[in-house]
Amino acid sequence: MHLLYQIFIDPFVQMGTAPDLFVQTLWEGLVTGVLYSLIALGFVLIFKASGVFNFAQGIMVVFAALALVGFYEHGVPAYLALGLTIVLMLILAVAVERLILRPLVNQPEIILFMATFGLTYFLIGFGELIFGGDPKVMISGALGLPSGSYQIKTLGGFVQMQKIDIAAAIIASLMVASLGVFFQKTRIGRALRAVADSHRAALSVGISLEQIWVIVWFAAGIVALATGIMWGARSNVSFALEIIALKALPVLILGGFTSIPGAIVGGIIIGLGEKIGEFYWGPLFGSGIEDWLAYVIALVFLLFRPQGLFGERIIERI
Amino acid sequence: MRAPSGPDIAVGDVLLSVENVSLSFGGVKAVSDVSFDIRKGEIRAIIGPNGAGKTSMLNVINGFYHPQQGRITFKGQARGHMRPHDAAYGGIARTFQNVALFRGMTVLDNIMTGRTLRMHRGLLWQLLRHGPALAEEVEHRHRVEEIIDFLKIQDIRRVPVGRLPYGLQKRVELGRALAMEPELLLLDEPMAGMNIEEKEDMSRFILDVNDYYGTTIALIEHDMGVVMDLSDRVVVLDHGIKIADGTPAEVKKDQGVIDAYLGVAH
């Protein structure tokens, strides 16, 4: 009886009695969610255009962030370092297309998936060789990102908002909006969607697969860079960040592997779920549920809507 | 779109010629030593029983397959090997045996993809949807609307193609190919799986495309009645070998063709 009370009633009583804490938790969940969305977005871009689940998206985040800090540490001014990192991501996209995708064209998807594993470990090794294995501090100050926080007096208490989190939310929204316009309204966006639907039909109207792949990997690289900056500004930039790639999985299951809005909504649901779960139900399970709650949410979701919130319904003809 | 060239266009010079093309997959010979040509402005049918190598032949012309032997001359330029992207660039459009459309996209967007190669404005302009890019988009949209009118699919232009019945999907696929303003249009069984009425509609469209836009058409078809009505010349393949080539009337009388289609008594 007491356990049932603790699970079903007590958390809601707490939410009611300390609304400021509840709002604070919501805000933190939202910010984490936005970052998850960004990571998931990188996956969706590549998955849409080439049907490859890019395991290397996580390491691309780390690689981009490390490169940015690395350039800066070598005396390159912050904004120039940002530009150089963008160029580096373009080079990476071209290299991936030339050396991995092109030779493996028409191979089963699992082969391409394994190839992205290879890419991941190559980037880890290569990154450590160049940048060293030590955690680094993101140059958020030099990039003009705000620090400090706002304290809002409300609901009989305080809600604290880090300025960097607000910036992250704004940048993420802008990024998502421009990607949306890009996909829906431009010739290249249309070509991207076409490639996602049918390779041979895309080829027959003269869309070059090679060019499209470079573009999506580059776009995913830019998204990775943005994620790296935002995530790095909250903690450190280290190779440990690489496992956040795994956090994108539940987000993708929720949102659908091919849907940009899905990635956003899925990320936010997972972020909110994690924070609220951790704060209100965590003590029951001895805390630490943040690490696995996302997967449980995804699992439950899989039972009811295997195609994800916004994914296309899978109807197969038998 | 090119200006209408009148109902009676003269069948002219050779647009594409296939010379001694052989294609095999491992030990299986799909096409062996086939030669024929397609002349400007004609409707050329490629027929033959199942497994005759018709689709393989189309895939060779379109650049999806690379023949081991032989060569293909298109617009006077000989080539052995070409990528589909280059074929599209050179003015060859096609449809597929089992419809290959972009299922998640609307009819309008599907047909717009046919304009890909003709749109050149920079990405930045496109993103801003402003200035020259907007003008370009409007201009191409205009062309696409013409095609939509031509194919009488105005009322479904906003529908995702995945939801359309098969017959209409085939029509949209034809629309996408037309949007490329091709010089040579390859149709792989444009009427497969259609009922009589749909077949009649499609035949009408094919003849109209040929008349109105002067597009050269090469088509694969199983329905002999349709082939005889539509085409100017017919090439017949059987087991990857060319067994006849000529006008529909000539081909119909050919003993080899009759044997291939009806079987020979042993």
Residue-wise pLDDT for A31-55, tens only, equals 888 888 888 888 888 887 777 888 8
Q: Which of A181, A186, A206 sits opposite B89 (nearest CB)?
A: A206
Please give, rounded to a whole number of angstroms, the shortest distance from the CA of A316 to a CA of chain B: 13
Chain A residues whose CB is inside 8 A of the B93 CB are 204-205
Distance CA A270, CA B200 (A): 54
Q: Do B94 and A204 touch (CB under 8 A)?
A: yes
Q: Write out the two tokens for A213.
A: 């792949």
Largest CA distance in chain A: 67
For residues A70-108, one letter each, b for 16 or more C-beta atoms within 10 angstroms of the residue's C-beta and e for the rest, the string is bbbeeebebeebbebbbebbbebbeebbeebbeeeeeee
Q: Which of A187, A188, A198 sits opposite B100 (nearest CB)?
A: A198
Residue A126, pLDDT above cutoff 80: yes
The most confident of the ranges A133-147, B39-53, B69-83 is B39-53
- In this prediction, residue A86 carries a pLDDT of 94
Distance CA A152, CA B139 (A): 52
Mutate to test the interface with B, among A174, A175, A187, A188 (most CBs of B within 10 A): A187
Please name every residue paired with B244 in a beta bridge, in sequence order, or none if there are none. Answer: B236
Quick one: DSSP state of residue A287?
S
A130 touches A70 (CB < 8 A): yes
Q: Do B109 and A193 touch (CB under 8 A)?
A: yes
> What is the ipTM metric for this complex?
0.76
- In this prediction, residue B7 carries a pLDDT of 41
Residue B6, pLDDT above cutoff 60: no
Under the banding of pLDDT at 50, 70 and 90, the label for residue B265 is low
Chain B residues whose CB is inside 8 A of the A194 CB are 102, 105, 113
Q: Which of B89, B100, B117 sits opposite A200 (nearest CB)?
A: B100
Distance CA A78, CA A63 (A): 17
Q: Write out the two tokens for A139.
A: 């140059």
- Note the pLDDT tens digit of each residue in B178-215: 999 999 999 998 888 888 888 899 999 999 999 988 89
Mean predicted confidence (pLDDT) in B3-15: 57
What is the pLDDT of chain B when averaged over all its residues? Answer: 84
Q: Write out the two tokens for B115.
A: 């304009």
Mutate to test the interface with B, among A205, A257, A259 (most CBs of B within 10 A): A205
B220 touches B58 (CB < 8 A): yes
Nearest to residue B221, comparing CAs of B243, B248, B255, B241? B248
Under the banding of pLDDT at 50, 70 and 90, the label for residue B232 is very high
Please name every residue paired with B18 in a beta bridge, in sequence order, or none if there are none. Answer: B36, B72
Give me Rg for the CA atoms of chain A. 21
Q: Do B93 and A204 touch (CB under 8 A)?
A: yes
Structure-token match 């573009």, residue found: A215
Question: Cβ-count burial of A317 within 10 angstroms (0-12 exposed, 13-18 middle, 19+ buried)?
Answer: exposed
Quick one: DSSP state of residue A136?
B
Distance CA B47, CA B219 (A): 8
Residue B117, pLDDT above cutoff 50: yes
Backbone dihedral region for residue A236 (phi beyond 0: left; psi -120 to 50: alpha; all else: beta):
beta
A54 touches A252 (CB < 8 A): no
Residue A95, pLDDT above cutoff 90: yes
Residue B86's identity, in one-letter code, is D
- In this prediction, residue A6 carries a pLDDT of 77
B114 touches B93 (CB < 8 A): yes
Residue B123, pLDDT above cutoff 70: no
Q: Do B85 and A191 touch (CB under 8 A)?
A: no
Among A178-187, B34-43, B230-239, the minimum mean pLDDT is found in A178-187
Give residues 156 to 185 of A whose Cβ lies within 8 Å of B.
Answer: 178, 181-182, 185
Mean predicted confidence (pLDDT) in B40-64: 88
Give residues 13 to 52 of A whose Cβ lies within 8 Å of B.
Answer: none
B84 touches A205 (CB < 8 A): no
Quick one: what percent of chain B has pLDDT higher than 70? 89
- In this prediction, residue B218 carries a pLDDT of 93
Give the orientation angle of helix A260-276 with respect to helix A19-50, to 10 degrees: 150
Residue A109, pLDDT above cutoff 90: no
Residue A115, pLDDT above cutoff 80: yes
Among A35-39, A72-76, A154-158, the minimum mean pLDDT is found in A154-158
B229 touches B203 (CB < 8 A): yes
Distance CA A101, CA A50 (A): 9
Please give, rounded to a whole number of angstroms, the shortest distance from the CA of A9 to a CA of chain B: 45
Nearest to residue B240, comparing CAs of B61, B62, B55? B55
Q: Which of B84, B116, B176 sits opposite A191 (nearest CB)?
A: B116
Q: Are strands B43-47 and B233-238 parallel, antiparallel or unpaired?
A: parallel
Structure-token match 């098969």, residue found: B166
- Note the pLDDT tens digit of each residue in A182-207: 877 778 888 888 887 788 888 888 88
What is the pLDDT of chain A when averaged over all its residues? Answer: 83
Chain B residues whose CB is inside 8 A of the A205 CB are 88, 93, 113-114, 116-117, 176-177, 180
